[in-house]
Amino acid sequence: MRRRIYRGWRRGQTLGATKLLLPHYSSKGCRRTYRDLERSLEKLGSGSLVLKIVSGQVYLTIPTTCAEDPMDNEVVYQGFFTVEKDRKTGWEILRSPDSVAILVAVPEWNQVLMITQSRPPMVRDDNPDGRITEMPAGRLDKPGLDYVDIAVAEVEEEVGVKITRKDVRLFNDGVPLALSPGGITERMYLAWVEIAPSQIDLSRETFGCASERERITRKFVPVADLGTMTYENMATCTLSLMYLRELERRQSPEPGRA
């Protein structure tokens, strides 16, 4: 099993969200495979890993901090983000934790929940307060929490909806998408969930984390508008179009049926 997973992999590469075709997690052989796999990664010096089961699929994720050997790079800046310069190529790399964005749909109302908030990096002449519309999202920067844990927490924090891990589904077979591969290490998982109106906290109007000075406004958007609205955020656009594709798939007749 390890030979199959790591064929072609070497130190200096990232192995992220790789789907493993393993037997049931509860089986004794599977648990032994997990332990052997973790020990092998530790010997390779790859750092921590996350092994999770999401919607019946098993995923192995190695943080993007393993993507480069730090000995090969010069640290130019160290803060919330890290900027490195590759000593061989001179290429500048901005290291950022991976992230997850989640579409929250309310089928009974034919609506999805979006948020609006001010984003300092988005401030410009035509948008002086940096306010944009987007989906709930968060970074994988909390020890011990994977992208599903973060999705659950962000949905409650940013739109006032309580969900569980089992409610979360992933688009793109759970493979995260690179956001700006020419300079940024961050990749984003695209998740979605369908909820009942009773799960929505309608007593609040603003949301967000006070310690991060977030002031988020929830926005209800008709599903019928997703195909024609103007987007300001790549993840929001991608999630919306993928959800429309999912709805179209449900309405299409199964092969062999008229």
Average pLDDT of adjacent 10-residue blocks, the chain of 258 residues? 36 40 48 59 50 53 49 85 91 95 98 96 95 96 94 96 97 96 96 97 85 85 97 97 96 69
Domains of the chain: 2-63 (no CATH), 99-251 (3.90.79.10)
CB proximity list for 253: less than 8 A, separation 6 or greater? none
Q: What is the C-alpha to C-alpha distance for residues 186 and 138, in angstroms, rounded to an integer?
A: 12
Question: For residue 139, which amino acid is it?
Answer: R
Alpha helices (H) along the chain: 2-6, 28-44, 147-159, 234-251
pLDDT of residue 253: 73
Strand partners, 177: 188
Q: Is 210 left (phi over 0), alpha (psi -120 to 50) or beta?
A: alpha
Q: Which of 120, 84, 101 is nearest to 187 (CA)?
A: 101
Q: 3-class DSSP state for residue 201?
A: coil
pLDDT of residue 193: 98
What's the pLDDT at 43?
52
Stated pTM of the model: 0.71
Tokens of 186: 């961050």
Cβ(187)–Cβ(147) below 8 Å: no
Residue 113, judged by CB atoms within 10 A of its CB (0-12, 13-18, 19+), counts as buried
